[in-house]
C-alpha cells in the first residue's frame, strides 16, 4: 500500500492533459510494483528512483485503473511530495 500526498498530474496526447494538483491517495499496489519498490529500497535506490517506480505504479493503478481507462497516458508527474509512506 502506498499512502501519499503530493502534486500529481499526467501527460497524454494533445488535448487531454491533466493539470497537476495536490492529491492525497492511499492505493494498494499490484505485487509487481511492491516488489520493485522493496527490492530497489534494499539495493540502496535513491529517493528519485523510488519516486519513479511509485509514479509508474500510480499511473497503472490510479490513473489507468488497471487498463480500464486512460490507455494513452504517457507520463505521470509525481512532485512536491509532502508525505510518502509504504506499508504491507
The answer for residues whose C-beta is within 8 angstroms of residue 5's C-beta and 6 or more apart is: 22, 23, 24, 25, 81, 82, 83
The answer for residues whose C-beta is within 8 angstroms of residue 65's C-beta and 6 or more apart is: none
Tens of pLDDT along the chain (88 residues) come to: 889 999 887 776 666 556 788 989 999 988 998 899 989 999 999 999 988 898 889 888 888 777 667 666 667 788 899 998 888 7
pLDDT at 72: 65
Question: In terms of residues, how long is the chain?
Answer: 88
Amino acid at each position: 500500500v502506498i499512502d501519499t500526498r503530493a502534486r500529481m498530474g499526467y501527460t497524454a496526447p494533445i488535448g487531454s492533459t491533466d493539470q497537476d494538483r495536490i492529491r492525497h491517495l492511499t492505493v494498494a499496489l499490484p505485487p509487481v510494483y511492491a516488489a520493485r519498490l522493496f527490492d530497489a529500497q534494499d539495493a540502496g535506490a535513491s529517493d528519485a528512483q523510488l519516486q519513479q517506480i511509485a509514479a509508474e505504479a500510480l499511473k497503472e493503478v490510479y490513473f489507468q485503473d488497471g487498463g480500464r481507462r486512460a490507455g494513452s497516458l504517457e507520463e505521470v508527474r509525481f512532485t512536491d511530495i509532502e508525505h510518502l509512506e509504504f506499508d504491507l
